[in-house]
Amino acid sequence: MLYNMKALLEKARESSWAVGSFSVANMEMVLGVLKAAEETQSPVILQIAEVRLKQSPLEIIGPLMVAAAKNASVPVAVHFDHGLTIDKIKQALEIGFTSVMFDGSHLPLEENIAKTKQTVELAKEYGAAVEAEIGCVGGSEDGSKDIAINCTSPAQAVEFVEKTKVDALAIAIGNAHGNYKETPHLRFDILEEIKSSVDVPLVLHGGTGILPEEFVRCRENGIKKINIATATFDNVQQSVRRAYEEGNISGYYDLQAAEVEGAYRNAIKHIEIFDCAGKAHLI
């Protein structure tokens, strides 16, 4: 069932669980994530970032994601992650994505606010939710750039939410995209201050490599959407490699099954940590 992301996150705010938002790149990843969501009766978010579109064109992967969500037996939001251009954000909305993100975290605050407000007005025409980011999550979404972490200012978070009216706010508390080079040290003091200061669900990017107990602490302190990208891609790759090494691939459909299995196992693991299993009926 295709749902607006806001409906999933607002329901999660009523308790201590969070919704897993899984980046996908092909049909097999979509099938694996939804298999896990349906098996566990969990609401889930399928997402793709603008930087990934050179490998997975939006006009091809987008309709697939929306169709899969519509045919799922659990609530599924379809999210355009890290939107960098209004043109691509609008294309995602036209395709039927139920939420979009404008990522102006690299811009001066006032410019980020102005362009986010433009995105909010556009999304209203489609009944879609909007996520934005303030502060700077480390690394780039595709792992090609080593971007320094700039933790979110709680005061600026308040100003940003008040001026933009976004539905969800991605914050930087020591998290980073890609595989961490060392154990991350999350700033829970900043998270707790932002949670007590703004009235929107918070989003954690860079979920790959964060310890389970830290995920629990995050979801108990206002993080209601947790992005998982690198772990999905890594698990799919490892699942395929393992299948070849064990002699379990004798043709294309065995390869396809190994990809689905990798995405499924990764989603199952994180759904358990996020405590969203069995929550589908609440939406």
Radius of gyration of the chain (CA): 18
Q: How far apart are CA 20 and CA 167, in angstroms?
A: 17
Assign residue 209 a region: left if phi > 0, alpha if psi is -120 to 50, beta otherwise?
left
283 CB contacts (<8 Å, ≥6 apart)?
A: 3, 7, 8, 11, 43, 75
Tokens for 193, please give them.
């201050």
Strand duo 19-23 + 76-83: pairing: unpaired
Residue with tokens 């890290």: 82
Tokens for 236, please give them.
């799919």
Q: Is 275 a catalytic residue?
A: no
Are the C-beta atoms of 33 and 265 separated by less than 8 Å? no
Tokens for 262, please give them.
């990798």
In SS3 terms, 74-143 reads as CCEEEEEEEECCHHHHHHHHHHCCCEEEECCCCCCHHHHHHHHHHHHHHHHCCCCEEEEEECECECCCCC
Assign residue 268 a region: left if phi > 0, alpha if psi is -120 to 50, beta otherwise?
alpha
Identified catalytic residue from 81, 103, 167, 275: 81
The residues that are catalytic are: 81
